[in-house]
Amino acid sequence: MNRVFDQATLAAVEQQLAATDQLMSTSYAGDTGARQPVHTVYIPADRYTADLPPRWGANALAAAGGAEGLAELASTLGLREPERLGSLVAAKLRGEPIEDLRLDFEDGYGHRTDAEEDAAAVAAADAIAGAVAAGKAPAFIGIRFKSFDAATRARGVRTLDLFISRLVTHGPLPAGLRLTLPMVVTVAQVEAMVLLSRKLEEAHGLPEGSLRFEVQIETPQVIVAANGTLPAAQLIQAGQGRVSSLHYGTYDYSASLGVAAAYQSMEHPVADFAKDVLQVAVAGTGVELSDGSTNILPAGDPENMAEAWALHARLVRRHLERGIYQGWDLHENQLATRYLATFSFFRENLAAATTRLRNYVHQIESAIMDEPATARALARYIHRGLACGAVEEDEVTSLAQISLDELEALALNRSHA
């Protein structure tokens, strides 16, 4: 049978699709497999000390009534394995109560004199470096400086400069360093952050690309621009590999769309629309996505605490089910429901996920025939659960009958030697 297409035709197709191949390999390289924290905690920049994370963990554990109280709370919330969850979350609150901490120079800090903020920026760098050196820092830690809006731009740039310039005097940058650029309204502001990052790297002899940053999505202009384009997708490319994640800002965004204060929340339709756009924008890029926060805090009388815990647990579960694996926490008592809801999410489908993965890897015939993409999703789900402490290594190896190296290789879509 004669073929129509010859080598010249194939060469023409290859040439025509070269740009597509380049785009997919550089801009859509996929999940890096790096650990993503399950939350970010925000505190005013001048309130940070190295003992803050264990203090928050101890206070959260005490507020919940210890491991038994956590189990009772889990039962009240309708979560499976309440005793197991109580034990696991109690251990988390003792060992790693905060995964990601942001020292805030924006809303949480307010406007101070230049001398005060200068001193606080330097002190923040010293405190973070000291905590990292002593092994007391969270896995991820950094600052949020003021926005590049005209009114606060000079102050934000100055704080960033002082913080990094001081931090490098202590040695290499911390592996878990996080920088947050808030209130972004145009792609040009991301391009400006790239310029500043490069200048800091050049001035301090840092490797190119070592300064990456989060972009905070708090305005409608970065969801749909005046010309009808979608800046959220464009800014990732404009970041030239430096944008690590997009963080949704619940209250500024809702207010900017005219939503009354009583109805501003992580689950309002305007919030869901924005996060749907962001989720599509980051898909396949390796850039992470974080949901925002709730300002209904579990504090005060027992009735208020119970209601706030129930709301927080539901909202955490909601964004996890929607494929958003990170959110913000603003109060120490939110740590209890952050981990109860997160651990429950990763545990309740563990048996089914490991069974399906076992059947896929060992080619065991079953009622569900999973494809490679689904196997990767199953592996990534289990991998995330391991990273945060929701499941334990021996559970995975026993149930899935694969090694942790094999799990990681599947989760990250790479070959296992």
CATH classification at residue 227: 3.20.20.60
Spatial distance between the Cα atoms of 296 and 242, rounded to a whole number of angstroms: 33
Clarify whether residues 267 and 230 are in a common domain.
yes
Tally of helices (H runs) and strands (E runs) in the chain: 17, 8
Clarify whether residues 265 and 153 are in a common domain.
yes
Clarify whether residues 238 and 359 are in a common domain.
no
* Sheet with strand 288-290: strands edge to edge: 288-290, 243-248, 213-217, 177-181, 140-144, 100-104, 39-44, 327-329
Mean pLDDT per 10-residue segment, the chain (417 residues): 88 96 89 91 96 98 97 97 97 98 95 96 98 98 98 98 98 97 97 98 97 97 94 96 97 96 96 97 96 96 97 98 97 98 97 90 76 88 95 93 90 65
Clarify whether residues 189 and 112 are in a common domain.
yes
Clarify whether residues 132 and 200 are in a common domain.
yes
Clarify whether residues 344 and 354 are in a common domain.
no
Q: Does residue 13 form part of some domain?
A: no
8 A C-beta contact, residue 252 and residue 288 = no
Q: Does residue 20 form part of some domain?
A: no
pLDDT for position 135: 96
Buried b (16+ CB within 10 A) or exposed e, 165-187: ebbbeeeebbebbbbbbbbbbbb
Instruction: Identify the domain boundary among 311, 333, 348.
Output: 348
Q: Does residue 98 form part of some domain?
A: yes
Structural domain that includes position 122: 39-348
Clarify whether residues 81 and 155 are in a common domain.
yes
Clarify whether residues 326 and 381 are in a common domain.
no
pLDDT for position 372: 83
pLDDT for position 417: 46
Q: Does residue 17 form part of some domain?
A: no
Clarify whether residues 396 and 342 are in a common domain.
no
Spatial distance between the Cα atoms of 129 and 134, rounded to a whole number of angstroms: 9
Q: Does residue 385 form part of some domain?
A: yes
Instruction: Identify the domain boundary among 309, 330, 348.
Output: 348
pLDDT for position 364: 82
Clarify whether residues 355 and 221 are in a common domain.
no
Cα angle 319-264-193, degrees, rounded to a multiple of 5: 70
Spatial distance between the Cα atoms of 37 and 294, rounded to a whole number of angstroms: 18
Clarify whether residues 397 and 280 are in a common domain.
no
Clarify whether residues 227 and 367 are in a common domain.
no
pTM here?
0.94
For the chain, the domain total comes to 2
